[in-house]
Amino acid sequence: MKKQILVVDDELSILKLLNFILSKDYDLVIKQNGADAISWLEDGNDPALIISDLEMPYIDGGSFIRNLKISGFYRDTPVILLSGADNLDKIVEQMPFRADCYFKKPFNPTELKSSITETLQKHNVANN
C-alpha cells in the first residue's frame, strides 16, 4: 500500500507537477488551501507526510503548519515546505516550528523525491 501524502498548494501548475512526479509512488491527497486541509485532517485522516506551500489564501501555510504542530495529534507528522518567497531562508528561520525541509519554487523534482524518501525514513515511515 502506498503511503499517503497531503499536498496543500493554491497553484494549479505546482499541484499538477507534484501529482505527475509523486503519484506513482504515493497516494496524494490534494487541497488548495490550509482551511480545506484542516477540514480533511479533522475528518480523522492521518497522512504519512505533508507538503505545504507557505503563501495561500484563507489560512497560509505557516499558520496551517503551526496549528498542526500545536494540536498534539499531528505534531510528529513530517512537513516539507514549498515557497516562491525570495527570502525563504529567513522566513523558515523565524518560524516557531521546525519543518523537516523546504524548497524554493521552482524546485528540482528529483531532489524533492529524495527528500521525501529520506524524511519518511527518518520518521520511520517505510514506503512499501
CATH, residue 33: 3.40.50.2300
Per this entry, what is the length of the chain? 128
Question: pTM to 2 decimals?
Answer: 0.90
Assess whether pLDDT exceeds 90 at residue 58. Answer: no
Assess whether pLDDT exceeds 80 at residue 117. Answer: yes
Its domain, for residue 108, covers 3-122
Assess whether pLDDT exceeds 90 at residue 119. Answer: yes
pLDDT at 111: 96
- Report if residue 127 sits inside a domain: no
- Report if residue 116 sits inside a domain: yes
- Report if residue 48 sits inside a domain: yes
- Report if residue 128 sits inside a domain: no
- Report if residue 30 sits inside a domain: yes
The mean pLDDT value for 5-16 works out to 95
- Report if residue 84 sits inside a domain: yes
- Report if residue 73 sits inside a domain: yes
Assess whether pLDDT exceeds 50 at residue 124. Answer: yes
| Averaged confidence pLDDT in the chain | 89
Domain count, the chain: 1
- All three cell numbers of 31, joined, read 487541497
CA dist 42 and 109 (Å) reads 30
- Report if residue 19 sits inside a domain: yes
Confidence grade of residue 92 (pLDDT, cut at 50, 70, 90): confident
Assess whether pLDDT exceeds 80 at residue 89. Answer: no
